[in-house]
Amino acid sequence: MYQNILPAGSKILINKQQIDTAIDELAMQINEQYAGKPVAFLTIMNGGMIFAASLSTRLKIDMEMDYLQLSRYGKSQSGGQLVWKYQPEIDMNNHHVILCDDIYDEGHTLAAAHDWCLKKGALSVASVVLIHKNHDRTYADYKPEYIALDIPDHFIFGYGMDLEEKLRHLPEIYYLPQD
């Protein structure tokens, strides 16, 4: 269906049904954990947008929503300097914060957002990610509390993750096999 816009050699790593099933399971965990608690649900843009939209519609908790924009990648495939582009206006005092992002790769972005939320008065901060890459480049000791899917160390795109700022809108997750 998307063959005309996919890079040559692209392969589906995770299909839409697998993604939906994983998000359903995460939503059940979060609904149970945060029942009766005031929540600030913060999407990390741009990558977290599609995952956050899917997950948030399944949540049955008392929550306010906002976003933050913090990036390391830009148009490259490897991380650079951390840049704050937008800080949320929501009051985090007396709220449990859920940070929602597309991928946990090395952890720089989530660790910085986590620390910032605590400084802003959050009662607690937990991270939820669609994808966790299995590799040994993890940053410090930071780990997301909620992970939908574990994958091998591929460069991936689709379902919020970009390939040179494009293809975030794909409903599956793709990768380009290495030669």
Beta bridge partners of 149: 131
Residue 117 has pLDDT above 90, yes or no: yes
Question: How does strand 146-151 pair with strand 156-157?
Answer: unpaired
The pLDDT, as a whole number, for residue 143 is: 86
The domains of the chain are located at 17-166
Residue range 17-166 forms a domain whose CATH class is alpha beta
Residue 113 phi/psi, 5-degree rounding, is -65, -40
In which band, very low, low, confident or very high, does the pLDDT at 139 lie, cut at 50, 70 and 90? low
Q: Which of 151 and 179 is assigned the larger pLDDT?
A: 151
**pLDDT confidence of residue 73:** 53
State the average pLDDT over residues 130-149.
82
What is the spatial distance between Cα 86 and Cα 11, in angstroms, rounded to a whole number? 34
**Residue type, position 118, single letter:** L
In this structure, of 21-30, 76-85, 136-145, the range with the lowest mean pLDDT score is 76-85
Residue 137: the pLDDT is 64
Alpha-carbon 154 to chain mean position: 16
Q: What is the mean pLDDT of residues 155-170?
A: 93
pTM of the predicted model, to two decimals?
0.89
Residue type, position 14, single letter = I
Instruction: Find the mean pLDDT for residues 139-167.
Output: 88
- Cβ-based neighbours of 42, under 8 Å, separated by 6 or more: 65, 66, 67, 68, 88, 90, 97, 98, 99, 100, 113, 117
Rounded percentage of the chain residues whose pLDDT exceeds 70: 90
- What are the phi and psi torsion angles at 30 (to 5°)? -65, -40
Instruction: Tell me the per-residue pLDDT of 10-40, one tens digit each, with 9 for 90 and over.
Output: 999 999 999 999 999 999 999 999 999 999 9
